Structure formats: structure tokens, C-alpha cells
Chain A
Amino acid sequence: MSILEVGTVKAVEPAVPLVAAPPPPPFDLESHEWLRTLRADGATRDAAIARLHTLLLGAARFEISRRRHTLRHLRGNELEDIAAEAAADATLSVLRRLDDFRGASRFTTWAYKFALLEAAVKLRKRAWQGREVPLEPDDWDIFSSTALGPDAASEQRELLAAVQTAVAEALTPHQRSVLVALAVNGVPIDVLAERLSTNRGALYKTLHDARRKLRAHLVERGFALADRLEAE
């Protein structure tokens, strides 16, 4: 298993203990049947691909229905087009990566994730279509002292000020742009990856390195971070 704790990051914190992956379990009967028919010839394979496509179309529609509230400007037929496109792309991905299926889950669970990914990425890109991707901190309001309510403890104010300084001083321009776009301006990672002609994995690595630098910068200045953060 590859992990992000490589190079400079490793010195900041202990790496994830590597656990030897257990041998994959034997395929369950249903998964075995999926593989057998998708690897068959002729009509058997065609029928299996049609069944796979139907399964993935259902998953893509499921994803779209979960996100419908964020897509009010899209009409039903546009959403159905996105579902159809996601299902077609996911079917191709599954067929291309059939040999990667190790039986670590049911085949359908493994296949679903391709459809959910395709649908989610298409929806994020659609939602940002035609919008400028802000790489500068145009929404630092949350960090301005006037925006802090009476409930904000003074140590949080100090930490916020230190974070702003660290963003300005400790990061490379590329790290700063990526961090600001993703973590301050809420640009979806797939949208930013497309605009910067890169991919999600590479971009997240940049974000991860930027975060490690910020943490190290703050710890060096005596901030204890554990109690100040909240998961979303």
C-alpha cells in the first residue's frame, strides 16, 4: 500500500504502519458469475455487459438523486444525460480494469464505485461550468477579526492570525494556490485538476504537503493544534 508519508512529510509524523494485505477471499458465487460472463464470448458477454450497464446506470442515477438539491438549475433530461454518460464511462472503466478485481468485496460493490465516481465528477464539473476558479483568497472573511463572534476564543484568533501568516510565508506559490482554491474557496478537487491539467491524486498530494508545512510552521511557534480543529 502506498501512503502519502513520503519524503519530507515522513519527518513530521510517524508513517502509517504497513499491514500486509490478507490474501483475497475466494470470490462469492455472484461475483464469480459476473466475472465468468463478462469474460465469455459472444452473446453471453454481450448480455453481461448490458446487465452491468443497467446496474451502473442505477448507481449513477442514485448519485444524481443524492445531489439533486445542489443542481436546481439543471433540468431532468440534462440530469438523465449525465447519468447515461456516467454509466457508459463507468462500464468501460470496469471492463478495462476487470483483472484488478481481487474479490476483496462483492463485484457489484466494486463496480458501483466507478459509476458513483463518474457521476460525481461530472456533476461537480457541471456545477462549475463557466465559473472562474478562484486561486486567490477572495473569501478570507472568516479569518478577519471583525467576522469573529463573541464566542470565538482569543486563542482561536491567535491561531487564525498565525495560519494566515503561515499561508503567506511557508508555502510555495503553487501550494498556496491549491490550498486556497480547495480549502478556502471550496473549489472541487476534480474541477481544479481539470483547470490545472493534472489529476486528483497529484493535487491532493500538493494539498497534503501544504497542510503538513502549515502544521509544522504552527507547531514550531508553539501552537497545540489538537483541540482547535473540528471535522466537518
Chain B
Amino acid sequence: MTDRSEIGQALGRLLGPAEPEVGCDVCFDELDRYVELELAGRDVDAEIPGLRAHLAGCPACREEHESLRALVSGQP
């Protein structure tokens, strides 16, 4: 049985982020700066617009962002 949340996630995967986004290449180029700005509590959306939306729409870049953030912040 599929519930509402599962359907919402499936639709999210199909339709992607509504906001403008950067592509995978820009994401990779900016990822180190983005993570350090995030960890410093800075406004990453103002400084690197479109990257948060890309992370929402691209599972591979999202995983790499999570890993870099965890590694730099000393989390497992």
C-alpha cells in the first residue's frame, strides 16, 4: 500500500525542484565553498544561488554533499 508521503516523494523525484538550479558541474566546483559556508552558518542561498535546489533534485550530488559535510565537520 502506498501512502500520501510516498506518492509525494515519487512526484518530487519526477518533477524535481521548482526553483532555478545550477547543474552538476557547477555543483561540484562550488561544493567545498558551499559546505564551509554552511558550517559557518552563512546564508548559502544568497552566496551560491541555485545550489540548494540542485541538491534537492540530484541524488548523486546530494550524497556527495552530505559526505563532504560530514567529513569536514568530523561526523561519522
Residues of chain B at interface, number, CB under 8 A: 49
Least Cβ–Cβ distance between A214 and chain B, in angstroms: 6
In the complex, A138 has a CB within 8 A of chain B: no
A156-B7, A201-B24 known; A148 vs B64 contact (CB < 8 Å): no
B18-A4 in contact (CB<8A): no
A-B contacts, CB under 8 A, total: 170
Tell me which of B30, B36, B56, B70 contacts A106 (CB under 8 A): B36
B9-A232 in contact (CB<8A): yes
A19-B47, A183-B13, A201-B24 known; A112 vs B6 contact (CB < 8 Å): no
A211-B15 in contact (CB<8A): yes
| Size bracket, chain A contacts | 35 or more
A228-B58 in contact (CB<8A): no
Which residues in A have their C-beta under 8 angstroms from that of B68? 109, 112-113, 116
For the complex, give the distance between the alpha carbons of A116 and B71 in Å.
10
Which residues in A have their C-beta under 8 angstroms from that of B24? 189, 200-201, 204
Interface of B is mostly: helix
A116-B67 in contact (CB<8A): yes
Which residues in A have their C-beta under 8 angstroms from that of B3? 149, 151-152
A226-B64 in contact (CB<8A): no
For the complex, give the distance between the alpha carbons of A48 and B28 in Å.
24
In the complex, A229 has a CB within 8 A of chain B: yes
In the complex, A36 has a CB within 8 A of chain B: no
For the complex, give the distance between the alpha carbons of A14 and B14 in Å.
21
B60-A183 in contact (CB<8A): no
In the complex, B8 has a CB within 8 A of chain A: yes
Most buried by A among B15, B21, B33: B15
Tell me which of B10, B57, B59, B67 contacts A142 (CB under 8 A): B10
B23-A109 in contact (CB<8A): no
Least Cβ–Cβ distance between A28 and chain B, in angstroms: 11
Tell me which of A14, A179, A228 contacts B11 (CB under 8 A): A228
A152-B7 in contact (CB<8A): yes
A189-B58, A189-B59 known; A153 vs B18 contact (CB < 8 Å): no
A188-B36 in contact (CB<8A): no
A66-B22 in contact (CB<8A): no
Least Cβ–Cβ distance between B1 and chain A, in angstroms: 4
- Which residues in chain A, 103-120, are within 8 Å of chain B measured between CB atoms? 104-106, 109-110, 112-113, 116-117, 120
A208-B21 in contact (CB<8A): yes
7 new A-B contacts, CB < 8 A, other than A120-B60, A200-B60, A215-B15, are: A3-B50, A4-B21, A4-B50, A17-B49, A143-B10, A201-B24, A230-B8
6 closest cross-chain pairs (CB), A and B: A230-B8, A105-B32, A211-B16, A149-B1, A104-B33, A16-B50
11 CB < 8 A contacts A-B? A3-B20, A13-B19, A109-B36, A120-B67, A142-B2, A167-B14, A179-B14, A200-B24, A200-B60, A204-B58, A207-B57
